[in-house]
Structure formats: C-alpha cells, structure tokens
Structure 1
C-alpha cells in the first residue's frame, strides 16, 4: 500500500496535468482548425476562418480558465485549511502543561462582571440587571466580586431561568423585587449553584485546573488567584468551555 501523497508531489502532479491538458487542447484545437480551413472550398475559407476563430477562442479561454481554477483552487484550499488548523491550534488544542495564566481572561478582561463594595451587598443585586448585562454582552454568566476583587459567586443564565420558572414568569420580566438574595432564598440548591466555583494558584497548569473541575460536579468556573485561596484577589477567570479544549 502506498503512503499518502505529499504536498509537493500533489502540486507537481497538478502542474503536469495542467500543462498537459492545456497543451493537448491547444494542439487538438489548432489541428482541427487547420483541417477545417484547409478542406473548405476556396471561396468559403474566409467564412470558415471566421467561424473557426469565433468558436476556438472562447473554447481556449474556457480551457485555460478551467485549468487555472483547478490549479489555484487546490492551493487556495490548502492555504485556507492550514490557516484554519493554525487558528484552531492557537485557540484550542491546549497542551496539559499550559499555564492557566496563559489561557485565562484577566480580571480586567472579564465582561460582564459586577463589583460591589462588600460581600453583604451581593444580595441586593437585581437579577434583571444581571440578566440584561449577560444579554448585552452575549454571555451566559456574570461573576460577582467585592471591592478587593475577591470572587463571591457566579450567576448563570440557567440560574435565572430556574428562578423565573419557579415564579411562573419570563426571566426578562423580573422586577426590582427579584434580587440575588431572593434567588438564593428560593432553595439551598440555588445557593449552591451560584457559589459553585473553584480557585487555583497562579502556578496551576491547565491539566491541574481541569482535573479539579472534573472532580467537582456542576462546577463551570475557575478563578486564578496568587495563592489559590478563595479570599485572595482574583487574577483571572477560566470556564469549563476553555478547559474542554485540552488535548
């Protein structure tokens, strides 16, 4: 069984085929034209010559265009494919030993987010405000921090949907009375959902983070802090979607 055809061999083959097709086409068309004009009656040769050129020139143009399209389309496709592969490698396919700090969103890049003066004020956050922030930014979650950039909780759109469904109203119709405190008071499970996140040290690798995330059911958010503690200032944020790209 032969091995796969290399890019150089493929280009060489297409080049030979292209020149062969064009050359054979030129020779064949010219031969037919000579025969057609040569065997035409003398008084009909001018008309035959005009007819031949009228038919032959578009035919030659079509042949050349077809061969060029065939030749360059392969290169363009190869280039586009390689660019896609490179982009996928750059954006995904993370090596397990990749530092988490290279993959995370920095604190400044997190959008949307809510920063409140102190932890006790989190309960006063209006759910409609969080809902609008998510949809304006086309995101599915909003992390909440205190003034020292310490992570307090993460509210997902699914949490808001569950809360709204329990009250028999659309999430978009929540009022000022629907606050984060009201959401957490709805059930212990709701409180657990918004507080279900991890913190890891800045020295952690992607594999370390993913291992810890997998071991914690339902957890979708990881915050990177200098020392890895929950009371430490957040340096960056990783989600389960980021970590799903680990090879």
Structure 2
C-alpha cells in the first residue's frame, strides 16, 4: 500500500497550481490586455517563476530516486568487497580463544543474575555476554546482558511471582522459553565470511568454533558480530 506523505502532497499541489496558474494567467492577460506588450511583460515575469517551481518538484523526485539508486549500488558494492575480504580471514586468526572467554560452567548456573551483572565490563565487548560451558568446554547456552536485564524486569513486573528478582539465577533464565539468545557452531577451517553468513541466516550475533563444527565438541574459540564488523571495514 502506497503512503501519501505530506511531501508528496506539497509536490503535487505545486505542480497542479503551476499548471493551472499558467493557464488562468494566460487567459486573464489575453482577455484584459489591449496590447501585446503588456501581456508579454506579465507572462515574461510570471512564467519563469512557475517554471522554476515545477523544475524544483521534478528535480526533487528524480534526484531522490537517483540518490537512492546510487546509495543501494554503493551498499551492494561495499557488501561484496567486505565479503571478499572476510573470505580471506580464517576464524582462527580473529576468534577469542577459549581461555580468554568470560563464562560459567553448567554447575554454576545456580548463581544469581544480579551478581553476574556486576561482573560485566562495558569496556570489554566479550564481557557483555555470558557463554555457558560444560566441564568439557562444550557450549550449552549463551546469555546476553540485555537478556538478563529484560528477564529481571519481566519478573519484577510479574506480581504473581513469589520469587524476588535479586534471587533469580542463571538457570531460571535458561529455563525461560521466551528468552533465548541464539548462537551456532562452525569448524576451525571456516572463514569470517562463513561466520557472517551463518549469523545472517540465524539472525544471531555469536558463532562458537570447534574442531569440525560439531556442537558436542569442545569450544576452541568464539566469533562475535563485533569481530565481523571490525574486520569488514574497508
């Protein structure tokens, strides 16, 4: 459904007014003028003004379409170049190594969410997300800081809940089917382009790296959307 905006109404109004103005003015001048000089002078003064209005309207529409087409073309070109650059970068060269990942074990999911929030560090991008690993370093879950805050607010507003928000745990959040931060797994032979494509397919922000790309294997690294964006810059 096409939306008729105020700009469109203004453009249409100016165009219609200009056309009608020229027609009416021409008829009036011809009918009242007794000589050709007066009519010519009036039309010479008014017609350029009306013509400039119409020209402005046409320029607005055509230049806008051209600008949008050029912007889309540039965006497609940048995306193509970025993907080409990302294809040449192995995930193992840019991933956050497993020993550097701030995480919690499955056995620690009874920890309170308010305590986890205090450990997040805004200066470190990886510390705004909390992977959950098994004892063998298998990825078992992922929680973003924003999801924790949303979960706490959700329970704060829930007057039927007898549980205090300060007592909510990691496990409580993981058991909420409505709040799931998505992630996927790729092999160590993948590139950043593969990680970007996987993120786009699943609408997620995190890819964990294992030896052959199986989730039951130990995690050896982590690729976030921030890493993709950083390496996609021209």
Instruction: Give the TM interval when normalised to the shorter protein.
Output: 0.5 to 0.7
Could you tell me how far 1:137 is from its partner in structure 2?
Answer: 6.9
Pick from 128, 138, 142 the counterpart of residue 130 of structure 2: 142
2:222 equivalent to 1:234 = no
Q: TM-score, normalised by structure 2?
A: 0.54
The residue that corresponds to 1:98 in the other structure is 89
Distance across 1 between alignment mates of 2:141 and 2:123: 19
1:204 aligns with 2:190: yes
Structure 1 residue 94: deviation in Å?
5.3
Alignment of 1:112-151 (within 5 A): 112-114=102-104, 116=105, 119=106, 121=107, 123-135=109-121, 138=124, 139-151=127-139
1:155 is matched with which residue: 113, 122, 143? 143
**Bigger Cα Rg:** 1
Q: Aligned partners of 2:191, 2:122: CA distance in 1, in Å?
A: 32
Distance 1:136 1:205, change over 3 A: closer
Q: CA contact under 8 A between 2:155 and 2:165: conserved in structure 1?
A: no
Match of 2:80 in 1: none
**1:234 is paired with a residue of what secondary structure?**
coil
Counterpart residue number, 2:12: none
Task: After superposition, give the CA deviation of every residue in 1:18-42 in whole Å (9 maximum; x if it has no partner).
Answer: xxxxxxxxxxxxxxxxxxxxxxxxx
Distance 1:145 1:137 in 2: 23
Aligned residues: 141
Unaligned runs of 5+ in 2: 1-83, 158-163
Aligned-pair distance for 1:231? 0.7
CA contact (8 A) 2:86 2:191 kept: no
Unaligned runs of 5+ in 1: 1-92
Distance in 1 between the 2:201 and 2:195 partners? Answer: 10
Question: How far apart in 1 are the matches of 2:212 and 2:222?
Answer: 14
**For 1:38-81, what per-residue CA distance to the aligned partner results, in whole angstroms no more than 9, with x for missing partners?**
xxxxxxxxxxxxxxxxxxxxxxxxxxxxxxxxxxxxxxxxxxxx
RMSD of aligned Cα (Å)? 2.4
Distance 2:227 2:156 in 1: 34
User: Matched residues in 1 for 2:228 and 2:122: separation?
Assistant: 25
In structure 2, the partner of 1:108 is: 99
